[in-house]
Amino acid sequence: MTAPDFSGTNASLPDIYRSMYLIRRAEEEIARIYPSDKIKSPVHLAIGQEAVATGVCQALRITDVIFGTYRSHAVYLAKGGDLKRMMAELYGKVTGCAKGKGGSMHLIDLDHGVMATSAIVASTISHAVGYAHAMRMRDMDTVVVSFFGDGAPEEGVFHESLNFAQLKRLPVLFICENNHLAVHSRLSARQAKDNIWERAELYGIPSQRIEWNDALRIYDATKEYVSDMRTKQDGPRFLECVTYRWMEHVGPNEDFEAGYRSRSEAQPWMEKDELKRIGLMLESSVRKNIEEQIERELAEAIQFAEDSPFPDDAELYKDLVSE
């Protein structure tokens, strides 16, 4: 494989590894802590899918914005979201990014362009398009990214949003994280053809599909698409990224005994762990320094969450309406 071209961005191979390692280890710690009941909301882990969020977000500016789904930790951290505030949010603490009132599925960090994540399938696709419309009306070069799973194309808002974005030539990048599963329902049982990226092309949107969770190809494709949207201002782009989640749909455990998939199906993805592949491209000393730094950051974030107070009862009546 040729080396990725990092010119024109702040990304580098160590940056990509750092992002992926942070996501992996943060979620492993979440899975470890979860049975203690200290974490106060359900968690949907992206272990195995780190390459998508990282590959996309490393090609973005801090001023670009993202909208995500309930499997939100990866995109939040990949875009630079505050780790301490994320952990505190999972603990339901007032120092959390949503003051302890949103939990795992509703993370936000406006300073880093994490606008919203939501538990409603496909709901933030239209939000991303609306935000992109506002950016275009203000003549700003902000790029908006919408992350969603392979279940979202079955919702009407997916098609309405793609049509509107192309009609208005909006700077929105659609990212389908296709793990071929909607909860326990396989894509082959829900969709007649495995061709999500081609559906975007029907609206005239330049699109492509990237197989096997390839972080560097995702980065390269995102960088090209984002540059085109900024300079050409000729409308949205679409990436279907084929990936695979290792853990159960919701919760900290594996679920290969649940009957809808097998460990043998997951094994090739685990053996071709993209985190390990990227790590082996680095000098061992560089990799070790990154890992040690992240372990310190994680320990500090967990302690921050442990030490932070719960919200006062008065918080129940705040942030209910726009003032």
pLDDT in tens, 86-105: 999 999 999 999 999 999 99
- 């990226």: which residue's tokens? 197
pLDDT tens track, the chain, 323 positions: 344 444 444 569 999 999 999 999 999 999 999 999 999 999 999 999 999 999 999 999 999 999 999 999 999 999 999 999 999 999 999 999 999 999 999 999 999 999 989 999 999 999 999 999 999 999 999 999 999 999 999 999 999 999 999 999 999 999 999 999 999 999 999 999 999 999 999 999 999 999 999 999 999 999 999 999 999 999 999 999 999 999 999 999 999 999 999 999 999 999 999 999 999 999 999 999 999 999 999 999 999 999 999 999 999 899 888 76
Which token pair is 271? 């053996």
Q: How far is CA 36 from CA 33, 85, 252, in A?
A: 6, 20, 11
d(CA 25, CA 153): 30
**Amino acid (one-letter) located at 263:** R
- 């994280």: which residue's tokens? 177
What pLDDT shows up at residue 2? 43
What pLDDT shows up at residue 323? 67
What pLDDT shows up at residue 10? 53
Which token pair is 29? 């710690």
Give the pLDDT confidence of 210-252 residue by residue, as tens digits.
Answer: 999 999 999 999 999 999 999 999 999 999 999 999 999 999 9
What pLDDT shows up at residue 116? 85
Is the pTM of the predicted complex or chain greater than 0.85?
Answer: yes
Q: Select 13-300's CATH number: 3.40.50.300, 3.30.1360.120, 3.40.50.970, 2.60.40.1180.
A: 3.40.50.970
First vs last Cα of the chain: how many Å apart?
53
What pLDDT shows up at residue 320? 87
Long-range pairs for 288-293 at CB < 8 Å and ≥24 separation?
A: 290/14, 290/17, 290/18, 290/21, 291/21
SS (H, E, C) 133-166: HHHHHCCCCCCEEEEEECCHHHCHHHHHHHHHHH
Q: Which residues contact 196 (CB under 8 A, 6 or more apart)?
A: 150, 153, 176, 178, 209, 240
Coil vs helix vs strand at 98 = coil
Nearest residue to 226 (alpha-carbon basis) of 240, 236, 213, 214: 236
